[in-house]
Structure 1
Amino acid sequence: MSDDYLLMQRCIDRAITLERHQGRFHRAVKRALPRLHRSIDLPPQDRARHLTCFVIRYIECVPEWLWQVEQLCSVAGLDFTPVRKVIGHSFAAPPERHPDQVGLAALLDDAYLAHRALEEINEHLQPACGMPLLPMDPIIANTVVRELLGERFAGEIDSICCGLGGRFRGLRLAPDSLVAMILCRQRFNETPGAWPDFARTLNIQLRPPIAELVSSTLH
């Protein structure tokens, strides 16, 4: 792994250690639960703990997942470096936007940046590959984190991610590049637990809007 990924990992390890000793994020989540959007369906028992565990897993998988997607791009001759540099800089920068936040809270927006960038890249490369790069659907996880960050702040991050993903828009892969990417993806997917769907594992779901419920009932 490059130095960027090692730096991300050190930041994440420090934040998780701090949370285990202080539980600051868990307490903040507990206070925020009454304001959480009703579309987010959490297990009834110890909802704050489930959401904290989800956030830890969401953050800690970032370096490995980015590295794997970079390998997929590399074998196909695609340059992932600008994406890695932007996300790496975000993790390394001091949390000036929210100086009162430390630990997990300070890294959550960085992790959202990484996950949404991967989602955008996947969307643009899927037509060229004929398959999704990501072996799991990130929508639920990203929607939950979007709610925690707030619509306005998450929207600003989305704009950055659209720019990063746009670098891969309309690409056409040569046959040998496509085969190399498919074989690399297959190798990663065969690694047990490499791409966990942690929202599903922790029984965190999205409730359908009322309008959809009514429509499905009538039809």
Structure 2
Amino acid sequence: MDAAAELESGAEDRGGAAVPATSAVPVQQLSLWPPPRSVQGSARRRRQLTGLLVGTAAVLLIAGGTAAAWVLIGDDTKEAPDTTVPAEAFVGSWAGEMTQVDTDGGHVADWHAEVRIEEGAEQGSTAWTTFTCSGTLRLTAADNDRRVYTYTETADPEERCVDEAELIVWPDGDTGLKAEWSSVTREGTRMTSTGLFVDTGRT
């Protein structure tokens, strides 16, 4: 593909992504001790309180009160919710209009892409109909709601397309799949194309 048709490679994930942020651990309890009169007295009280808590927890555990002991000691570990989108959400026939920009964000071209993702969402095929190019898709990464595919060209009769590119897709509510193609031209110019895929099997 020439400079007006080639895609950017290795583009960073635009969707915000993919790495969930860890929240600060909330305060579990407040100290009811008055201000210490001395460092020595404060340290003594901390040792006494710690010994009392450990002793009470041991008694509860021996008596079979495991749940009560955990409440007393406090358990700050919380499992992150599972937000992974199932593979079935990506399977199907998709199509959409892409808008291509260069490294500086300047508009280069608008083009049409058709994508088919097979059962299991691990592979598929695509046709860039505007440029008469086609290729295969192979899953290379999956992170929460995103799937990353490597495009390998299989047909380019007019020699207008890149040999390899990267496709990132993620759900856009009930609308379809947001898509980002990225690659680099033979001249070394980075290109990115973004757009929305709609499920052609439902239309």
Q: Shorter-chain TM-score: which interval?
A: under 0.3
Greater helix proportion? 1
Greater strand proportion? 2
Give the TM-score, by structure 2 length.
Answer: 0.22
Greater relative CO (CA pairs within 8 A, separation 6+): 1
Which structure has the larger Rg over C-alpha atoms?
Answer: 2
